[in-house]
Amino acid sequence: MSFSKETRYLIAGGVLLVFLALFSLLWGQYPISLEVFSAYVKNILFSTPVDESYNIALIHNIITEIRLPRVLLAILIGAALSTSGAVFQAMFVNPLVSPGILGVLAGASFGAALGMLLSEHWYLVQIFAFSFGFIAVGFAVFIGSMVTNSRSTVMLVLGGVISGSLFTSLLSIIKYVADPYSTLPAIVYWLMGSLSMAQLNEVFLVAIPISISITGMIFMSKYFDLMSLGDEEAKALGVNVKLIRIIAIVLATLASSLSVVMAGIIGWVGLIIPHIIRMAVGPSHRLLIPLSAIVGGAFLLLADGVSRLALSVEIPIGILTSLIGIPIFIIVLKNARAAWN
């Protein structure tokens, strides 16, 4: 049986993702051997008796309460940010665009900080973060629609810059008035990004809209290829450019807002992963977008493993992705123009 080039890339990415997920489940401050893990899985699935020395109850708690939620959340957020970054870059025909271009990350950060200031209930914090992520995008779109004689894409980007600056300033006000001994440290730590608060029921809940958003963006990839030729050429080929652009922005904003809701600010993933994939497989969005989702999930799994195990204390994953992302971006920047073309 022979597979196409695209299928081979997707299979290779899937194998890498499964390997890293298994490694993340087994490795940690309390390492679990493959033999013990295999016995645990057989016990869960087929009620197979296991050696009492394995301490299956402890293994079950480590897997289901600590590591599995982090693994699933890392895959979801990595896939959401990478796919959103690839779609935003396609929409604005700009290789430097990332999920924060329309102010969604700044708006969600302000919403979460406001929620922490007003309430101790985590659900309210998440609702505020999600709501203000969309409000920030709505404000950017409103600014972009004010000038009708300019190129809509350029004005939309400028609207995003203004919206991001506004909500960043509002976030500074929240931090200034927050209690410096309790609320302010919580806000600062949350903004650094972390997967440590992942709960299995919340992960399953947020997986539904994120998966729908990613799937929708993958199914729209053929339109992104046509729109990369230019708006007029895409219209001539029968594409409703305005409708496709609105749907794509909504889906990408939804996915990236939910990532902020669950784990705070995790930067650079949505910028560097699409570049790396584009350099490896070319600019076609039919392969670029699904492969970005797979590799983005694998990248964040790897970063989470390093953040947990590199030091005796956990490094906030947002700091780690920045430290990893900056040198990678400098390297890929040299070849970005050729890959984009």
| The predicted structure's pLDDT at residue 42 | 85
| The predicted structure's pLDDT at residue 147 | 65
Whole-Å CA distances, 338 to 275, 295, 332: 11, 21, 10
pTM of the shown model: 0.87
| The predicted structure's pLDDT at residue 228 | 79
| The predicted structure's pLDDT at residue 96 | 67
Report d(CA 242, CA 234) in Å as an integer.
11
Q: How many domains, in total, are found in the chain?
A: 1
Region label for 231, one of left (φ > 0), alpha (ψ between -120 and 50) or beta (otherwise): alpha
Report d(CA 248, CA 256) in Å as an integer.
12
| The predicted structure's pLDDT at residue 339 | 58
- Among candidate residues 66, 64, 38, 65, the one with its CA nearest the CA of residue 51: 38
| The predicted structure's pLDDT at residue 262 | 83
Domain CATH for 296: 1.10.3470.10
Task: Give every residue of the chain whose pLDDT is below 70, as ranges.
Answer: 1-2, 94, 96, 147-153, 334-341
Q: For tokens 């609320």, what's the residue?
A: 183
| The predicted structure's pLDDT at residue 341 | 56
Report d(CA 295, CA 83) in Å as an integer.
10
Give residue 265's domain range.
Answer: 5-338
Residues 104-128 pLDDT 10s: 888 888 888 888 888 777 778 778 8
